[in-house]
Copies of this chain bind each other. A is one copy, B any other.
Amino acid sequence: MSLQVIPVPIKKEVQKGDDLVGLFVSAFKDIQDGDIIVIAQKVISKQEGRQVELAQVIPSMLSVGLASEYNRDPKLIEVILSEANRIVRLESGIIITETKHGFVCANSGVDESNLKPGFATMLPQNPDKSASDFAQGIMEKSHKKVAVIISDTFGRPFREGQTNVAIGVFGILPIENYEGKKDTHGRILRVTAIAQTDELCGAAELVMKKTANCPFAVIRNYSFESSSGTISQIIRSKQTDLFR
């Protein structure tokens, strides 16, 4: 059976406090059991008020110093650092941090695109909760069982370009474990753990970027074990990460 990835555009620009569930169900009438809804981080951040007016930010000495060295905005650097556990790499004005959630990404996920000038969004504070709240709302309205993934666009080492990855999940495990499963020759498989929610986010991105104002995608016909996963399962531990 073929997998379907359906873009769900909306007409409204999302504001703080908006009813995202209502916006989704108005735009997509045909929700079915087993559907996976992928949501762009940006609309979650806007809806949750995770947005800052840079003019209101008072940068620290550190932020002023870094900004002057790399010709960047000290107020934006301040927001980036305030969202970080630590700086992972700092070179040529590129700031790679570990966010408070444990994600390693550029600028702590702080982002000025698709916003009024002078504003920046931060990642949701608890993206698993954002996913769960949205899923509960959908399931109450539709009486269908769905999984929800919050997605953001991250760069990566070694390879050019960005891909969409999961930053919050509800009802699906981030990693599908093949451990102990045998291959066609009866040997234990080398690849034991597929980052299925990251691949689902990548698939969603393929339709979202081609459609104007499209913060949602629905993925249908993907069979998965319904499970109370948390995104922390995808964060590589210090012990197994050779690139910290």
Contact residue among B158, B196, B213, B233 (Cβ-Cβ distance under 8 Å from A206): B196
Closest to A161 in B: B195
Contact residue among B4, B13, B189 (Cβ-Cβ distance under 8 Å from A3): B4
Residues 146-195 (chain A) with a chain B CB within 8 angstroms: 153, 156-165, 174-176, 178, 183-185, 187, 189-191, 193-195
Known contacts A2-B7, A13-B184, A202-B202; decide if A175 and B161 are in contact (CB<8 Å).
yes
Copies of this chain, complex-wide, total 2
Assess whether A44 is interfacial by the CB under 8 Å rule: no
Residues 32-53 (chain A) with a chain B CB within 8 angstroms: none
- Tell me the smallest distance from the CB of A146 to a CB of chain B, in Å: 17
**CA–CA, A205 and B178, complex, Å:** 14
Contact residue among B5, B185, B236, B243 (Cβ-Cβ distance under 8 Å from A203): B5
Contact residue among B4, B104, B159 (Cβ-Cβ distance under 8 Å from A158): B104
- Tell me the smallest distance from the CB of A164 to a CB of chain B, in Å: 7
Interface string of A232-244 (1 = CB under 8 A from B): 0111100011111
- Tell me the smallest distance from the CB of A53 to a CB of chain B, in Å: 14
* CB pair B96 A242 closer than 8 Å: yes
- Tell me the smallest distance from the CB of A15 to a CB of chain B, in Å: 14
Residues 111-144 (chain A) with a chain B CB within 8 angstroms: 111-117
Contact residue among B111, B163, B242 (Cβ-Cβ distance under 8 Å from A89): B242
- Tell me the smallest distance from the CB of A244 to a CB of chain B, in Å: 8
- Tell me the smallest distance from the CB of A181 to a CB of chain B, in Å: 10
* CB pair A165 B159 closer than 8 Å: yes
* CB pair B205 A111 closer than 8 Å: no
* CB pair A236 B160 closer than 8 Å: yes
| 12 A-B pairs whose Cβ atoms sit less than 8 Å apart in the complex | A3-B4, A3-B206, A103-B158, A113-B190, A117-B187, A161-B234, A162-B191, A163-B194, A163-B198, A194-B209, A199-B203, A202-B203
Kindly name the residue among A103, A185, A240 whose own CB sees the greatest number of chain B CB atoms within 10 A: A185
Cβ–Cβ < 8 Å partners of A91 in chain B: 242
Assess whether A200 is interfacial by the CB under 8 Å rule: yes
* CB pair B191 A206 closer than 8 Å: no
Cβ–Cβ < 8 Å partners of A159 in chain B: 165, 195, 198, 234-236
